[in-house]
Amino acid sequence: MDKPYTGGCACGAIRYSIAGEPLFSNHCQCRDCQRESGGAHGSYATFARAGVTLTGDAKHWDMVADSGNVKTRGFCTQCGVAVYMTFAAHPGVFTIRAGSLDEPARYKPQVVTFAARGHNWDQIDPSLMTFAGMPTG
């Protein structure tokens, strides 16, 4: 069996272990991710929900994406760190913030999403495929 992806919040109150490899990994430059990260983009890895073990009590808040779909962000009530996202329209996936990984070097971004909202001072690897919005299909 492959080594699981593990991680959690800064204080350790929320922990996850994920079996399997990411289905999708991206840097997202949408305004929601900019605001939530406090930077120019968020970095995420999305996995099959079936492989996720999650412990700890997260606080959740919902926001409506440009698509009209609801995305729910989970963060720690103790340290405030955002750890994961789920999507009402895609209940079979679980997305973690790359910085929450115990071994962040395992994160391998594939694409940049919402590049149309990126800032020229946010220089992301130019070899990554970019999409103006979220790719479909």
pTM: 0.92
> Taking the CB of residue 1, how many other CB atoms lie within 10 A of it?
5
Pick the CATH number of 5-120 from 2.40.110.10, 3.50.50.60, 2.60.40.10, 2.170.150.70: 2.170.150.70
Cα–Cα distance measured from residue 36 to residue 131, given in angstroms and rounded to the nearest whole number: 20
How high is the pLDDT of residue 1? Answer: 55
Digit-coded pLDDT (tens) for 102-130: 999 999 999 999 999 999 999 999 999 99
How high is the pLDDT of residue 133? Answer: 86
Average pLDDT value for residue range 22-37: 91
Token output for 83: 């750890």
Contact 28, 110 (CB under 8 A): no
User: Can you give the C-alpha Rg of the chain in angstroms?
Assistant: 14
Contact 44, 25 (CB under 8 A): yes
Digit-coded pLDDT (tens) for 60-109: 999 988 778 899 999 999 999 999 999 999 999 999 999 999 999 999 99
Nearest to 70 by CA among 47, 83, 87: 87
Strands 24-28 vs 111-113: parallel, antiparallel or unpaired: parallel
**Distances in Å between the alpha carbon of 75 and those of 19, 37, 70, 72?**
21, 12, 16, 10
Nearest to 15 by CA among 53, 49, 61, 59: 53
